[in-house]
Amino acid sequence: MVDVMPQLFFFGLLGAAAYLGFSKLKEEAVRVSERNRRSAEEVKTGAHGTLVRGADGVYRVQRD
């Protein structure tokens, strides 16, 4: 009989790595699409950046 435990462990690690990689890929895709949407909106309105209000009440250009 062939011992199945090493293969099971290897494929478990492979599946976990694939799952984590895919979830990071989805997060990055959402971040990039949001940045592209904001950029297209800025081009449409002629703005030079998106302002966000900081904790001290001062508006600053949003950084990605």
Query: Over 80: is that where the pLDDT of 1 sits?
Result: no
> Domain segments of the chain: what residues?
5-61
CA 49 to each of CA 15, 20, 33, 55: distance values in angstroms, whole numbers, following the listed order: 41, 33, 16, 19
pTM of the entire predicted model = 0.64
Q: What is the pLDDT of residues 20-33, one digit of tens each?
A: 999 999 999 999 99
> The tokens of 4 are what?
């199945």
Contact of 47 with 54, CB cutoff 8 Å: no
Quote the pLDDT of residue 63.
78
C-beta of residue 61 within 8 angstroms of C-beta of residue 50: yes
